[in-house]
Amino acid sequence: MPGRRTLWRNLLPRNGRPRPAPSASPARTRSVPPLLTIEAVSKRFAAHHALRDVDLTVDSGEFIALLGPSGCGKTTLLRCIAGFLTPDEGRILIDGEDITRAPPYRRPLNTVFQSYALFPHMSVADNVAYGPRRAGVGRTEAQNRAREALALVGLEEMGGRLPRALSGGQQQRVALARAIVNRPKLLLLDEPLSALDLKLRRRMQIELKHIQEKLGIAFVFVTHDQEEAMAMADRIVVMNAGRVEQTGTPAAIYRAPTTRFVAEFVGEPNLLPLSPAGPGRARLAIGGFELPAAAAMRCAMVRPEDIVIVEGMPAADLVTFPGVIEEVLAIGPTTTLFVRCGEVVLKVARLGMSGADLTPGSAVTLGLRPAALHLIAE
């Protein structure tokens, strides 16, 4: 389950200003073309379909996370955008211009890889100045740009050091400085934090997000870590077997997944089966409450943190039903209770330690608000 604090940090307004809420397809609502447009892109490796009919638009300054399990096609899509691979079908446009077959160096973008790939014998400043120098920028100007890029990533004091004299997190920031020194319009990042230990990784997520906001450069960020995507992205693209399953804000992906795959990939939902309720109709019956649904709906999802253990009089808007605790799992700040309610076992998440009376075998009353139930079709 995504850490609730991490998730909500990204969803809440900052500095009292509401976050802009990017729509599922921003391009449709405006006349200027999106920064990046991916149109019906497919890519095969022999008989294997690595990408199938992928559509995506990215706006200037947007932070997009490509999220999905290993082998779903995230890196292949990134490599098509970067120009290291050519799609078999479809088009890729930047600012409305077709770049599907343009070589990588002709694209106004840069890539940060998982391995930092710094030149070990060059100082940090020279590593960063290398790109502008190769592009023909004079030595002094290149050094000035490198200094500015290093300041942006908080390493202005480290320019004289060799990469090996820096920590992993600092080296990754040098790699980032090197990628942004020429101010690309778009930065592609392929699991850039995966070599870092968990604590540093969490800190770098926040730093990277701040740097991205400060620069105003669009990021397309590949990750298989749902928490990372939730914490950083404006929109998440969930991929499965070469296809885009759903594109949406972190809140939409978490609260309103359109498929069972998305619901289960992001967090640990409770999926409640629906029963037939006449021609073309289905329903969920829970604690005397009935949720009607179209027959096409497969199940209703409720997140573990949306189910409460009722102590005393329940609030009027709660649907309540009895259960028996089967298992108690305390991990970090969250305790998950597995509660049997008839045929199903529900996960119930609580912050803090569970009470002494909440032990396996105890009878409890569970409650949920009907609005927390979300119907899923596929």
Q: Does 195 bind ligand ATP (CB under 6 A)?
A: no
Q: Which of the residues 40 through 59 are near ligand ATP (CB under 6 A)?
A: 45, 48, 50
Judged by beta carbon, residue 23 or residue 240, the one nearer ligand ATP is: 240
Judged by beta carbon, residue 35 or residue 81, the one nearer ligand ATP is: 81
Q: How many helices (H) and strands (E) does the chain have?
A: 9, 21
**Minimum distance, C-beta of residue 222 to ligand ATP, in the bound complex (Å):** 6
Label residue 261 exposed, middle or buried (CB < 10 Å: 0-12, 13-18, 19+).
buried
C-alpha span between 73 and 190 (Å, rounded):
12
**Minimum distance, C-beta of residue 73 to ligand ATP, in the bound complex (Å):** 4
Helical segments of 266-370, H only: none
Q: Does 172 bind ligand ATP (CB under 6 A)?
A: no
CB 314 within 8 A of CB 286: no
C-alpha span between 57 and 314 (Å, rounded):
46
**Minimum distance, C-beta of residue 69 to ligand ATP, in the bound complex (Å):** 7
Q: With contacts defined by CB under 6 A, how many residues of the chain interact with ligand ATP? A: 12
C-alpha span between 245 and 196 (Å, rounded):
28
**Minimum distance, C-beta of residue 120 to ligand ATP, in the bound complex (Å):** 25
**Residue 275, token pair as written in the block:** 């029963």
Q: Does 111 bind ligand ATP (CB under 6 A)?
A: no
CB 187 within 8 A of CB 81: no
CB 245 within 8 A of CB 377: no
**Minimum distance, C-beta of residue 276 to ligand ATP, in the bound complex (Å):** 38
Q: Which of the residues 212 through 241 are near ligand ATP (CB under 6 A)?
A: 224
**Minimum distance, C-beta of residue 109 to ligand ATP, in the bound complex (Å):** 18
Per-residue x/- track, 67-86, ligand ATP (CB under 6 A): -x-xxxxxxx----------
C-alpha span between 231 and 220 (Å, rounded):
14
Report the interface residues with ligand ATP, using CB under 6 A: 45, 48, 50, 68, 70-76, 224
